[in-house]
């Protein structure tokens, strides 16, 4: 049977993430993946969490196994607020918080609450494909703005806001952006708020990597600089505890979250109680900042190892990158070519997976001469080996 005629217009032309598609081809255990966005699993606190889960199921089975409240288990909300308070992203006087099944769900439901068909969202281009695809399902237009070494171009942003009707919000990942790894300067964050106010649009600030700084100085969140209640903040426990536990949160003015909460009720009723309880207990028993510090140190080492090998094996002067100060991604541009796909394909033959830049673009059909590397999930040895092989391919094809 042919099903295309049954699909809704909004999903018919959608493409899944090529990264997820690549995962399917990566059943081969010999492939070294620099393609995903997985945190380092060698540091997962598996023993601690298994004891905690066992204890919860023994002592509070009803709480863990029964339906919970849509906005989240109250103590889990406190944990999310505690994380947000570290970056002044929670305004106790007007904000509310909802625990989400990953930040992904928070971003999706925020978009669902704000977007009508035909509205527009201004995004960094390139940006996180999960969010871009979420916005696409609401049949809105995406207006891409280039990303510079210090974050989204503010001239580009003003042009986008001036020349497009129906912009509802700006979506930004200002710190250790996915996929570029760059961090927006303080001046640009202030300017973004000025422009959002001037053109009366909201800002959705997505900050899953903010805790993972291993060099340089912290920059205040946009939410912390917001005096008007214009910023909706998405946080996540995926990169600081475990992505499989699916714990994220949205913080915004309570009037906005009232609507988002109804959408979550429709969507999945609530985030699983067991993982919420596990996170609460973990944060009570252990110092999560110590655990994050270990991750940061490891990512600093892995990033340095990747760059050291890039300098050694990449053809000189043919690949440009910005050294990240945190997060998990490194973004490379090859100015002497127009399409990186032959490099990506040849790398897969050599059993190394990388992601072509077109995946993260607003216009995914346009060729890209860029690619994204992830340094958090492979071991140091595998990073060195993968970059040696990638360097060989780049030397041959550039
Ligand atoms: C920029 C960005 N936002 C959100 C997410 C999703 O996070 P979560 O696992 O909390 O859904 C990711 C995951 O890779 C991401 O890179």
Residue pLDDT, tens place only, 317-348: 999 999 999 999 999 999 999 999 999 999 99
Dihedral, CA of residue 293, residue 299, residue 305 and residue 309, to nearest 10: -160
- State the Cα–Cα distance between residues 176 and 183, nearest whole angstrom: 5
pTM of the model: 0.96
In whole angstroms, give the CA distance from residue 94 to residue 87. Answer: 17
120-125 and 141-148 strand pairing: parallel
Quick one: pLDDT at residue 13? 73
pLDDT at 375 exceeding the cut of 90: yes
Distance 129 CA to ligand 1 centre (A): 10
**Residue 11 confidence (pLDDT):** 82
**CB distance 140 to 161 below 8 Å:** no
Q: Is the CB of 238 under 6 A from ligand 1?
A: yes
The pLDDT assigned to 144 comes to: 98
CA angle 268, 271, 273 (to 5 degrees): 130
| pLDDT > 80? residue 46 | yes
pLDDT-based confidence at residue 12 (cuts at 50, 70, 90): confident
Distance 1 CA to ligand 1 centre (A): 36
At residue 148, φ and ψ (nearest 5 deg) are: -100, 180
- How many other C-beta atoms are found inside a 10 Å radius of the C-beta of residue 147? 25
- Is the predicted pLDDT of residue 10 greater than 90, yes or no? no
Q: Which residues pair with 205 in a beta bridge?
A: 172, 233
The model's pLDDT over 112-168, given as tens digits with 9 standing for 90+, comes to 999 999 999 999 999 999 999 999 999 999 999 999 999 999 999 999 999 999 999
Mean pLDDT of 276-302: 97
Above 70 in pLDDT, residue 387?
Answer: yes
Structure tokens at 223: 């939410």
Can you tell me which atom of ligand 1 is nearest the CA of 105?
11
**Does the pLDDT value for residue 26 go beyond 80?**
no
Q: Is the CB of 206 under 6 A from ligand 1?
A: yes
- Atom index in ligand 1 nearest the CA of residue 101 equals 11
Residue 177 CA, ligand 1 centroid: distance in Å:
11
Phi, psi of 74 (to 5 degrees): -50, -40
Q: Tell me the C-alpha to C-alpha distance, in Å, between residue 105 and each of 39, 76, 241, 271.
A: 19, 17, 18, 10
Instruction: Enumerate residues 6+ apart whose C-beta is below 8 A from 320.
Output: 332, 333, 334, 335
Residue 20 has pLDDT above 70, yes or no: no
Ligand 1 mean position, distance from CA 14 (Å) = 19
Q: Which atom of ligand 1 is nearest to the CA of 106?
A: 11
Q: Per-residue pLDDT for 27 more than 80?
A: no
Q: Which structural domains are found in the chain, ordered by start?
A: 4-44+290-397 (3.90.1150.10), 46-285 (3.40.640.10)
Cβ 236 under 6 angstroms from ligand 1: yes
- DSSP of 134-168: HHHTTTPEEEEEEEETTEE-HHHHHHHHHH-TTEE
pLDDT at 325: 97
Asked if 150 contacts 183 with a C-beta cutoff of 8 angstroms, the reply is yes
Please indicate whether residue 208, judged by its CB atom, sits closer than 6 Å to ligand 1.
yes
- Does residue 274 contact residue 53 with C-beta atoms inside 8 Å? yes
Give the β-pairing of 231-236 and 248-253. Answer: antiparallel
How long a stretch of residues is the chain? 398
Which candidate, 103, 124, 141, places its Cα nearest to that of 179?
A: 124
Whether 275 is in the pocket of ligand 1, judged by its Cβ within 6 Å, is no
Mean pLDDT of the 97-108 span: 98
How much is the pLDDT for 14?
A: 75
- Asked if residue 183 has its Cβ within 6 Å of ligand 1, the reply is no
Which of 238, 245, 250, 374 maximizes ligand 1 atoms within 8 Å of its Cβ, making it the mutation to test the pocket? Answer: 238
Q: CA–CA separation, 308 vs 253, rounded Å?
A: 45
Whether the CB-CB separation of 295 and 313 falls below 8 Å is answered with no
Distance of CA 108 to the CA centre of its chain: 13
Residue 206 alpha carbon to ligand 1 centre in Å? 8
- Per-residue pLDDT band for 18 (boundaries 50, 70, 90) equals low
Quote the ligand 1 centre to 125 CA distance (angstroms). 16
Place of tokens 């049949």: 139
C-beta of 110 in contact with ligand 1 (< 6 A): no
Q: How far, in Å, is the centroid of ligand 1 from the Cα of 363?
A: 21
Ligand 1 site, residue 103, Cβ cutoff 6 A: yes
């Amino acid at each position: 049977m042919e099903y295309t005629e049954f699909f809704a217009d909004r999903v018919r032309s959608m493409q899944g993430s090529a990264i997820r598609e690549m995962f399917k081809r990566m059943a081969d255990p010999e492939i070294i993946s620099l393609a995903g966005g997985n945190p380092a699993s060698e540091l997962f606190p598996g023993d601690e969490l298994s004891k905690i889960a066992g204890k919860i199921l023994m002592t509070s089975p009803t709480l863990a196994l029964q339906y919970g409240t849509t906005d989240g288990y109250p103590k889990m909300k406190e944990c999310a607020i505690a994380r947000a308070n570290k970056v002044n992203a929670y305004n106790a006087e007007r904000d509310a918080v909802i625990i989400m099944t990953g930040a992904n769900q928070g971003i999706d439901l925020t978009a669902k609450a704000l977007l009508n068909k035909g509205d527009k969202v201004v995004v960094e281009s390139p940006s996180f494909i999960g969010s871009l695809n979420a916005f696409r399902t609401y049949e809105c237009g995406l207006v891409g703005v280039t990303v510079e070494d210090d974050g989204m171009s503010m001239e580009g942003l003003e042009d986008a806001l001036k020349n497009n009707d129906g912009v509802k919000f700006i979506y930004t990942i200002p710190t250790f952006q996915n996929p570029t790894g760059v961090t927006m300067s303080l001046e640009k964050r202030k300017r973004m708020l000025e422009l959002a106010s001037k053109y009366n649009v909201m800002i959705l600030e997505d900050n899953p990597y903010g805790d993972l700084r291993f060099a340089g100085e912290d920059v205040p969140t946009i939410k912390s600089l917001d005096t008007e209640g214009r910023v909706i903040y998405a946080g996540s426990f995926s990169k600081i505890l475990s992505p499989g536990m699916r714990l994220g949160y949205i913080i915004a003015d309570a009037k906005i979250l009232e609507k988002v909460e109804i959408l979550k009720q429709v969507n999945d009723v609530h985030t699983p109680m067991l993982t919420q309880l596990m996170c609460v207990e973990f944060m009570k028993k252990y110092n999560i900042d110590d655990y994050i510090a270990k991750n940061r140190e490891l990512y600093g080492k892995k990033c340095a190892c990747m760059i050291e090998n890039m300098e050694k094996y990449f053809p000189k002067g043919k690949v440009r990158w910005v050294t990240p100060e945190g997060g998990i991604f490194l973004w490379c541009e090859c100015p002497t070519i127009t399409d990186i796909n032959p490099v990506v394909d040849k790398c897969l033959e050599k059993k190394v997976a990388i992601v072509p830049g077109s995946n993260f673009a607003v216009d995914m059909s346009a060729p890209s001469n860029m690619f994204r590397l992830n340094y958090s999930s492979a071991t140091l040895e595998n990073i060195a080996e993968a970059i040696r092989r990638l360097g060989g391919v780049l030397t041959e094809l550039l």
